[in-house]
Amino acid sequence: MNELPGRHPLRDLRVRLKRARRIVVFSGAGMSAESGIATFRDAQDGLWAHVDPMQWASEAGFRSDPPRVWAWYEQRRAAVRQSEPNAGHRALAAFSARHPGLLGIVTQNVDDLHQRAGSTEVIRLHGDLLADRWLEACPHAEATDAAQAPACEVDGGTPPRCRHCGNLRRPAVVWFGENLPYDALSAAEAAVSDADELLVVGTSGTVWPAAGLVVRARQAGAHVVVVNPEPTELDDEAHLVLTGTAARLLPRLFDPL
Ligand code: BV8
Residues 28-59 have pLDDT tens digits of 999 999 999 988 876 456 666 667 766 789 99
Spatial contact of 229 and 244, defined as CB atoms under 8 Å apart: yes
Q: Quote the radius of gyration of the chain (alpha carbons, Å).
A: 20
Buried b (16+ CB within 10 A) or exposed e, 82-105: ebebbbbbbbbbbbbeeeeebbbb
If one residue of 207, 215, 227, 228 were mutated to test the ligand 1 pocket, choosing by the most ligand atoms within 8 A of its CB, it would be: 207
Q: Taking 90 as the threshold, does the pLDDT of residue 152 lie above it?
A: no
Give the residue, out of 44, 176, 201, with the most ligand 1 atoms within 8 A of its beta carbon, to mutate for a pocket test: 176
Helices (H), 104-233: 113-117, 182-193, 212-219
- Residue range 101-123: average pLDDT? 98
Residues above pLDDT 90, as percent of the chain: 80
Average pLDDT over residues 1-25: 87
> Does residue 176 surpass a pLDDT of 90?
yes
**What local confidence, expressed as pLDDT, does residue 149 receive?**
76
Kindly tell me if the per-residue pLDDT of 163 is higher than 80: yes
- Rounded to the nearest whole angstrom, what is the distance from the C-alpha of residue 208 to the centroid of ligand 1? 6
Give residue 65's Cα distance to chain centre. 25
| Residue tagged active-site, from 8, 89, 99, 126 | 126
Q: For ligand 1, which residues put their CB under 6 angstroms from it?
A: 28-30, 33-34, 39-42, 46, 57, 108-110, 126, 173-179, 202-204, 206-209, 228-230, 232, 245-246
Task: With 0.85 as the threshold, say if the pTM is over it.
Answer: yes
Give, as one character, the DSSP assignment of residue 165: T
Model pLDDT, residue 7: 78
Cβ neighbours of residue 30 closer than 8 Å, sequence gap 6 or more: 39, 201, 202, 203, 204, 228, 229, 245, 246
- pLDDT score, position 156: 87
pLDDT the model gives residue 146: 66
Closest CA to 133 of 169, 165, 100: 169
Q: Which amino acid is at 234?
A: L
